[in-house]
Amino acid sequence: MGAYAAASFVAWFAAAGFAPWMSIIALFMASVAVAALLAPLVERGLLRVFYGRDEVLLVLVTYALFLILEDATKLIWGANPYFVSAPYALFGNVQVGEQAYVGYDFALVVVAAVCGIGVWWGLNRTRIGKVVLAVIHSAEVASSMGVNVSRVYTFAFMFGIFLAALGGALTAPMISVQPGVSVSVVIVSFAVVIIGGLGSIEGAAIGALIVGLARALAVHTWPPAELFSIYLAMAIVLVFRPEGLFLRVKARRI
Amino acid sequence: MKRIEALLIGGLFAAGSACAQETFKLGVVSFLSGSAAESFGVPAVNGAKAVIEAFNKGQAPAPYNKVGFGGVRIEPVYVDENGGATKQVQELRNLYDRDKVDAVVGYVGSGDCLAVAPVAEEMKKFLILYDCGTPRIFEDGKYSYVFRTASHAVMDNVALARYLKARSIKAGSINYINQDYAWGHDSRNDFKAAAAQLFPGSKAQTDLLPKFGAGQYGTEISALLAQPADLTHTSLWGGDLQAFVLQAGPRDLFKRTQVVISAGDHVLPGLGDKMPDGVILGARGAYGLMSPKSALNDWWWKLYEDANKVYPVQAPYRMVQSLLGLKLAVEKAMVANGGKKPSPEQLAAALKGSEWESPAGRIRMNLADGHQATQDTAIGRTKYDAAKKMVTLVDIQRFPADCVNPPPGVKGEDWIKGGFAGAKCP
Amino acid sequence: MKRTVWFGVSLVVIFLIAGLLLPKWLLFLCTMAAANGVVSLGIVLLMRGGVVSFGQGLVFAAGGYAAALLSNKLGVTDALLLTAAGGAAAVLMTAPFAVLLARYRGIFFAMLTLALSMVLYGVLVKMDALGGSDGFTMSRPTLLGMKIADAWSGYVLYSIAVVATGLLSIGARIYFDSSRGLVSLAIRENELRVEYLGASVTRVMAANFLLAAFLGGAGGALAIMALGHIEPNFSYWTTSGEFVFVAILAGHTGVLGAFAASFVLELVRSFSSSYFPNTWQMALGIFLLIVIRFFPRGLGSLIKK
Amino acid sequence: MSPVLSAKSLSKHFDGVVAAEAVTIAVAAGERVGLIGSNGAGKTTFVNLITGYLKPDAGAIELDGRDVTALGPREIERLGVARSFQIPQLCAEMNVLDNILVAAACGGEALSFWQPAHTAQTRERALALLERFALGAHAERRVAELPGGIRKLLDIAMSLTRRPRLLLLDEPTSGVSVEEKFPMMETVMAAIAGETHSEGTAVLFVEHDMEIVTRYASRVVAFYSGRVLADGAPATVLADADVRRHVTGGQI
């Protein structure tokens, strides 16, 4: 959804005659638009009913949402491909040894790092962050202390959607945006979160690195394994750390 | 024609469809969603819609000018091929049993083709595979109700190798990047075997197999640039090929190696100036910019372009050639049985071993005992025409069917390894 | 227990008779519903122990490929034998993980099973000997040595599926009512106490996993015999996702719920693709949401209430 | 006859906190031992060590003369040690009768794949046990709907299904109203008497309420910061100066 929105926003910006570098702003605005539109609709309308229920139900609900959004994007944007090439050429090329790289890839790494640190800082170092963490730990206690839990849920979900849409928007310039791009992301995001351990930002960062490196390693050393390198990495981590790498210690129950 | 459904608690039973007046119900199955929709599915279905409408109005040029099929109006039923072979087998049974279609034309994915062919055979219903390329359909099995009106994928890579040989392009070392599924493996093996025949001593270097629908090729491009070869062969197509070109272009991969694409014409309209010049590519037949000059082709080109505002590429071409073949077969069968709608057996007998003209040249059903078509093909080089703001194909070389297709009864791979025995080339 | 057996057998007989009246496409749809239903029954069995497998495609594919290879390569073509062989193959393939998986709970159990099924998917796509990503076709099975005539193939495959899933369902019902079944339910609610009461939670969960694997493998064999073609997609996460959906829809109380839910899903899938060719995924998605929203306890609870 | 339970200089430390230090206690069949001590004195730790939930840093545990220090909760339970929980650990969605049937099944030999859990025989034996705990009327009720006291009783009843040789009750009367305390203990002690082995089950119960301890314990062990402060007849231990200062705080 983020990628498609980015395609439209960059096109509108270009049509309105903005300078090419403005297309980066278009990407961010596209993500905000998706978050603002989609998040309240989905969270209030649907997910609210399932809070506190078995988490497997939530996985199924999001799977159903995935099916619906897949066709929704097709109805809105049609089946033909979109190219969002303006931002891609903005950062020129970089010669590293005899390999030529596109500046955009490095910019992407920087943006990812900034987002990661930003979210970490937001959660652990600001008042709102503390409130969100409190709600995650136990909603009842937080609400008894006067926290409007439902608004925190909506805000947290919207921010999550914004980051996901931003991911789509930033990838859009590198690929041809068309039906079917979304399938591969689902499993990779599962793998990253599970390897990293639920609810831990450092975990997600490390998880993403592991998944990325596993894939790259497979491509360079043993190409046939590329297909299931991610799942192998996920299985191996789960075998040794059943709760993922960074999960918080659980209190003893008796 | 109204369709009645009663939703019972126990299950949903569809009453038979009452048809007001005699129509030829035609099932059309192709990708309407998923990653193959944009490149193969939707363009082919748009082509089918345009042609069927023209048939029903009797506006097609002779010898296809009768209304519908032999006077009988065509009623198409469109089904989405996305969802895996299991779903396609169920959908095919529903088409034949529930929707009572007289014939089905469809299937792009080779997995789907392999799955549905035996089902049509078991149900003794008429099926035309219009697009999938795996040679295994008729090499591993024998069918009397199943036909394929497009040549299989062996010819694309053979023609590619012959084009390089004819232009004596250096092929001392070759890198490969193909999608990690049957189509990718077969194309890589065919080209490797052909290269071994035509360029003895050429060395295969990096051999990459990214996941189907990967979309992110940063790592692969770095691997290709780490050991640049004279030639880089790929059978990537659709969104994956577009992403690969978008990511490899700025990194000068196309300048440091001669990239060769076995089925790449369908991405040209979309990529436009982002497609580098000098890339050698095929289109699995003489399609689009490489199609031969003919009245039929001009009519088809205008019909498709008016309806869809983009010129037709390989997918709609393969759909139209299958519908033209079907039309002639139906009309031939109706002549034989006194004007009645032909049974699957009569249709099969009429199509078997037949030949007909199509916008992409002559289609001859001369392989696999008259069930597998062969056709001419062509290879060209990309050149961006700034004036017309579109990518054109130059230095086009045509290859007659007999030069690039194995003779009847010989498996594709054995034919290549056997040094193209019996190939008749100009 | 006698009552369960009699009830089950009479139900099978009723379905066999009903099969004679159904149109061919509905017959095939019921056969697939039965084959997929028994895989979901395996997940229901696991859900009674408090875990949900998101990788049941692993055993579904294992059973299917085993049956297909036995039939094509070794000439074993008897349908009932292949069904049992499919189940056994699935058990053999998952045996090494059973004890390991028995220690996982909640989303981590789901994810590990998902990861394992996707590893199998990757391996199957890779193995050209097994037809790679296109898979391969399987000749029609025989029944007790007799070849099945074309005209009757639909009905015979339907009855094989009904008889096989009938027997497996009776077995499942007996297992649910057994003391081990009751202890599984107890583990679902308080595994600490069960361990304290002297039962090995890990061994019970491992046994549950292997039983579910057998059901899944048998389902895979039945499906491939009806379809005639097998491909790595059997083990893809979307296939496993549908099995879980059917299990959730069925609820963990009844055995019949799994087959009713599977039948409903097959119906919706088949009609949504012919009525909404462009948006069948959305139709399926909306249907899933409605069911999860209004039948949280699943169809089984409806019947039980 | 060798003691049912003998703990030899058990010690357990949690990063600095001394949970148990050189604890040596022997319990014979038929004894009723009350474990008293302020919160964090090491009572529950001692129970968790005996049942194998925690492994001691040093020392050994013997049941009927057999060293069980290394065994887990399940193996120890099979040797005839059962425990109830301070917070009742029950299966809330199931009814009372099913909870007892689960306890009976878990303790049995091998769990059968096809023997039905509900047979005339198993139901009758379970109902008998419930009657002894005055829970017969609640047999079909869902545990989630039961009041605290009833849940406590059920928790203890479940630990008695296997006729254990050693029964550990973790604060049986905590969370139970003052009027119900004594009737409950009467029921529990009567039930234990009815269910016991030939020589009688040894019972260890952790308790804060000194009236309960004095009435039902034949012997009292007082804990303070992981050590055994005093071990003897209830009257002498409660009169001991250290015990009054650290444990009872001059309550009596």
Contacts of C6 (CB under 8 A, 6+ apart): none
Q: Tell whether the model's pLDDT for residue C28 goes beyond 70.
A: yes
What is the rounded distance in angstroms from the CA atom of residue D164 to the CA atom of residue B56?
88
Q: Which residues of A touch B309 (CB under 8 A)?
A: none
φ and ψ at residue D131, rounded to 5 degrees: -55, -40
Would you call C293 and A238 a contact, using CB atoms and an 8 Å cutoff? no
Domain containing residue C229: 2-234
For residue C286, give every residue at least 6 positions away whose Cβ sits within 8 Å of its Cβ, in sequence order, or none. Answer: A64, A68
Residue C300 lies in a domain: no
Q: Which residues of C touch A63 (CB under 8 A)?
A: 241, 245, 288
Q: Which of A29-43, A44-58, C15-29, C63-77 has the lowest average pLDDT?
A: A44-58
Q: Does the pLDDT value for residue C86 go beyond 90?
A: yes
Q: List the one residue out of A16, A10, A5 whose CA is nearest residue A76.
A: A5
> Looking at the 3D structure of chain C, how many domains does it have?
1
Q: Do the Cβ atoms of A105 and B207 come within 8 Å?
A: no
Chain A residue nearest residue B226, CA to CA = A99
Q: Which residues of B touch C134 (CB under 8 A)?
A: 110-111, 114, 134, 136, 181-182
Asked if the model's pLDDT at residue B39 lies above 80, the reply is yes
Question: Both tokens of residue B319?
Answer: 């759909």
Top pLDDT among C240 and B11 is at: C240
Tell whether the model's pLDDT for residue B299 goes beyond 50: yes
Give the residue extent of every domain in chain B.
12-152+292-374, 154-288+376-417
pLDDT in tens, C218-245: 999 999 998 888 888 889 888 898 899 8
- Closest CB from C241, C282, C286 relative to A63: C241
**Tell me, what's the pLDDT at B185?**
86
Instruction: Clarify whether residues D195 and D92 are in a common domain.
Output: no
pLDDT digits (tens, 9 = 90+) for D137-183: 888 899 989 888 888 889 999 988 888 888 888 888 887 788 888 88
Task: Tell me the chain C residues in contact with residue D120 when contact means C-beta distances shorter than 8 Å.
Answer: none
Place of tokens 């709600």: A135
Question: Does chain C touch chain A (at least 3 C-beta pairs within 8 Å)?
Answer: yes
Q: Angle, to 10 degrees, between the axis of helix A226-240 and the axis of helix A201-221? A: 140
State residue A120's pLDDT score.
Answer: 84
Best mutation target among B30, B87, B211 (most A Cβ atoms within 10 Å) is: B211
**C224 Cα distance to chain centroid:** 12
Confidence category of residue C196, pLDDT binned at 50, 70, 90: confident
The kind and range of the H/E element at B355 are strand B355-358
> Residue A246: which pLDDT band, with cuts at 50, 70 and 90?
low
Q: What's the CA gap between C217 and B3, in Å, rounded?
A: 39
| C5 shares contact with chain D (CB less than 8 Å) | no
List b or e across A107-142, with b for residues whose CB sees 16 or more CB atoms inside 10 angstroms.
ebeeeeeeebeebbeebeeeeeeebbebbeeebeeb
Residue of B nearest to C234 (CA): B86
Residues of chain C contacting D71 with CB distance shorter than 8 Å: none
pLDDT in tens, D207-234: 888 888 888 888 888 888 888 888 888 8
What is the enclosing helix (H) or strand (E) of D222? Answer: strand D219-224
> Is there a contact between D21 and D72 (Cβ–Cβ < 8 Å)?
no
Give mean pLDDT, residues B342-364: 91
D122: closest CA of chain C, how far (Å): 10
Predicted local confidence at residue A57, as pLDDT: 77
The string over B200-211, giving b where at least 16 C-beta atoms fall within 10 Å of a residue's C-beta and e elsewhere, is eebebbbbbbbb
**What 3-state DSSP class applies to B215?**
coil
CB D89 within 8 A of CB C196: yes
Residue recorded with tokens 């792009």 = B108
Confidence of residue C297 (pLDDT cuts 50, 70, 90): low
Q: What percent of chain B has pLDDT over 70?
A: 95
Residue A177: count other Cβ atoms within 10 Å of its Cβ.
Answer: 29
pLDDT at B48: 94
Percentage of chain B surpassing pLDDT 90?
A: 37
Using the structure block, give the residue that is written with the tokens 């099929």.
B69
As given in the structure block, the two tokens for residue B244 are 């690969």
Q: Which residues pair with B24 in a beta bridge?
A: B74
Render pLDDT for B240-260 as a digit per residue (tens, 0 to 9).
898 899 888 888 889 889 999
Residues 150-189 of chain B whose Cβ lies under 8 A from any Cβ of chain C? 180-182, 185
Q: What residues in A contact D89, CB-CB < 8 Å?
A: 254
pLDDT per residue as tens digits for the range B84-140:
887 888 889 889 988 899 999 999 988 889 889 988 988 899 999 999 888 888 888
The last residue of one of the domains, among D120, D137, D163, is D163
Local confidence band at A164 (pLDDT 50, 70, 90 cut-offs): confident
Whether C250 is in a domain gets the answer: no
| D156 and D179 fall within a common domain | no
Q: How far is C195 from chain B (nearest CA, A)?
A: 43
End-of-domain residue from the set D114, D134, D163: D163
Q: Which two tokens stand for residue B177?
A: 């990047």
Say if residues A185 and B215 touch (Cβ distance below 8 Å). Answer: no
The reported pTM is 0.84
Residue B33 scores a pLDDT above 60: yes
Element (H, E) at D181: helix D178-195
Chains D and B touch (3+ CB pairs under 8 A): no
For residues C175-198, average pLDDT: 89
Closest-CA distance of chain D to residue C278, Å: 44
Chains in contact with D, counting 3 or more C-beta pairs less than 8 Å apart as contact:
A, C
C265 touches chain A (CB under 8 A): no
User: Chains A and C: how many Cβ contacts under 8 Å?
Assistant: 115
Residues D247 and D170 in one domain: yes
**What is the DSSP code string of D81-111?**
EEE--SS----TTSBHHHHHHHHHHHHSSSP
The predicted structure's pLDDT at residue B4: 43
Identify the CA nearest to D18 among candidates D248, D207, D224, D247: D224
A56: nearest CA in chain C? C107
Chain A positions in Cβ-Cβ contact with residue B214 (cut-off 8 Å): 184
> What residues in chain A have their Cβ under 8 A from chain D's Cβ atoms?
254
- The whole-chain average pLDDT of chain C stands at 87
- Residues D63, D184, single domain; the answer is yes
How much is the pLDDT for C204? 92
pLDDT, tens digit, 9 for 90 and up, residues D90-128: 998 889 999 999 998 888 777 888 888 888 888 898 998
Domain end point (choices D128, D145, D163): D163
| Residue D198 confidence (pLDDT) | 59
The whole-angstrom distance between B136's CA and the closest CA on chain C is 10
Q: Which residues pair with C78 in a beta bridge?
A: C142
Taking the domains of chain A in order of start, what are their residue ranges? 2-177, 180-254
- Residue C192, chain D, CB below 8 Å: the answer is yes
Of A238-247, B378-387, D152-161, D185-194, least confident by mean pLDDT is A238-247
Considering chain A, what is the average pLDDT of its residues? 78
Q: What is the pLDDT of residues C105-146, one digit of tens each?
A: 888 888 889 888 988 988 888 887 887 888 888 888 888 878
Contact B85 C32 (CB under 8 A): no
3-state SS track over chain A: CHHHHHHHHHHHHHHCCCCCCHHHHHHHHHHHHHHHHHHHHHHHHCHHHHCCCCHHHHHHHHHHHHHHHHHHHHHHHCCCCEECCCHHHCCCEEEECCEEEEHHHHHHHHHHHHHHHHHHHHHHHCHHHHHHHHHHHCHHHHHHCCCCHHHHHHHHHHHHHHHHHHHHHHHHHHCEECCCCCHHHHHHHHHHHHHHCCCCHHHHHHHHHHHHHHHHHHHHHCHHHHHHHHHHHHHHHHHHCCCCCCCCCCCCCC
Give the residue with greater pLDDT, A218 vs C114: C114
Contact (CB<8Å) B32/C125: no
Buried b (16+ CB within 10 A) or exposed e, C35-73: bbbbbbbbbbbbbbbbbbbbbbbbbbbbbbbbbbbbbee
Q: Which residues of chain B have a CB within 8 Å of the CB of A224?
A: 180, 209
Task: Report pLDDT digits (tens) over C135-166.
Answer: 888 888 888 878 877 778 888 899 999 999 99
A84-103 tens-digit pLDDT: 777 777 777 777 777 777 77
**D170 and D249 inside one domain:** yes
For residue C282, is it within any domain?
no
pLDDT at A24: 80
- How high is the pLDDT of residue B1? 38
Give the whole-angstrom CA distance, residue C12 versus residue C236: 31
CA angle A35/A140/A117 to nearest 5° reads 40
Chain A CA closest to residue D53? A254
pLDDT-based confidence at residue A252 (cuts at 50, 70, 90):
very low
Residue B377: C-alpha distances to residues B71, B146, B195, B380 (Å): 33, 23, 18, 10
Q: Which domain holds residue D95?
A: 87-163
Question: Which residues does chain B have within 8 Å of residue A80's beta carbon, measured at their own beta carbons?
Answer: 38, 42, 270
Domain contains C253: no
Q: Which chain D residue lies closest to A253 (C-alpha atoms)?
A: D87
pLDDT greater than 60 at residue D252: no
Task: Give the minimum alpha-carbon distance from B132 to chain A in angstroms, rounded to a whole number.
Answer: 19
Q: What pLDDT score was predicted for residue B355?
A: 92
**More confident site: A99 or B38:** B38
Confidence check: pLDDT of B293 > 80: yes
B154-288+376-417 in CATH: which number?
Answer: 3.40.50.2300
Assembly ipTM: 0.81
Q: Which residue of C has its CA nearest to B85?
A: C231
Average pLDDT over residues B378-389: 90
Rounded Cα–Cα distance for residues B127 and B28 (Å): 10
Q: What is the pLDDT of residue C2?
A: 83
pLDDT exceeds cutoff 60 at B12: no
Q: Beta partners for B358?
A: B361
Closest Cβ–Cβ partner in C189, C196, C199 for D91: C189
**pLDDT over 70 (residue D196):** no
pLDDT of residue C147: 81
Is domain B12-152+292-374 given the CATH code 3.40.50.2300 in the classification? yes
Q: State yes or no: pLDDT of B415 exceeds 70.
A: yes
Tens of pLDDT, residue by residue over D24-74, are: 888 888 888 888 888 878 888 888 888 888 888 888 999 888 888 888 888
The CA distance from C186 to D90, in Å, is: 9
pLDDT of residue D195: 65
- Total domains in the fold of chain D: 2
